[in-house]
């Protein structure tokens, strides 16, 4: 996710898109725009989150074939720094670590987005996914 935020920043710089920006993120894109705002604060003046994924949301993990809080699968492994070029492996999966880092950053900072305007559009309470006990959801 840090790599994606980095690539978006590089794209906007290369395309000479003038800032500052109001970022809009849907679903997991909500986490991406939060990361972007954290990494490039002068470039972002506001955020709109549309049904955003939260770092503590339960998501379906295909490898485990169950609903999990992805951040709870983190093993405190290092997440490589973003880069413009270089090999990447399809086996590289840092999502759990990145979700956990987002969670820890938010817990340590009472105002992680600063004083930027924020709009959150949400569909409401979602029912528990099929086969998931309600108390876990």
Residue 117 in domain: yes
Asked if residue 105 belongs to a domain, the reply is yes
Number of domains in the chain: 1
Instruction: Classify residue 133: in a domain, yes or no.
Output: no
Whether residue 127 lies inside any domain: the answer is no
Give domain status of residue 57, yes or no.
Answer: yes
Residue 131 lies in a domain: no
Q: Do the domain assignments include residue 64?
A: yes
- Helices 2-14, 29-39: axis angle to 10 degrees equals 70
CB atoms within 10 A of CB 47: 22
Residue 23 main-chain phi, psi, to 5 deg: -95, 140
Confidence tier at 45 by pLDDT (50, 70, 90): very high
pTM value?
Answer: 0.83
In the predicted model, what is the mean pLDDT of residues 81-95? 72
Token pair 């485990």 is found at 64
Residue 137 lies in a domain: no
Per the structure, the complete domain to which residue 20 belongs is given by: 2-122
Written as six digits, the tokens of 114 are: 């600063």
């Amino acid at each position: 996710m840090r790599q994606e935020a980095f690539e978006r920043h590089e794209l906007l710089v290369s395309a000479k898109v003038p800032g500052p920006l109001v970022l809009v993120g849907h679903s997991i894109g909500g986490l991406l725009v939060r990361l972007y705002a954290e990494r490039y604060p002068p470039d972002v003046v506001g955020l709109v989150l549309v049904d955003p994924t939260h770092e503590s949301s339960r998501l379906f993990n295909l490898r485990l074939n169950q609903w999990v809080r992805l951040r709870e699968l983190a093993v405190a492994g290092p997440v490589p720094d973003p880069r413009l070029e270089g090999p990447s492996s399809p086996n590289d999966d840092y999502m759990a670590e990145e979700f956990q880092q987002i969670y820890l950053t938010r817990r340590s900072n009472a105002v992680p987005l600063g004083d930027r305007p924020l709009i959150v559009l949400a569909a409401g309470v979602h029912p528990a996914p099929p086969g998931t006990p309600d108390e876990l959801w």
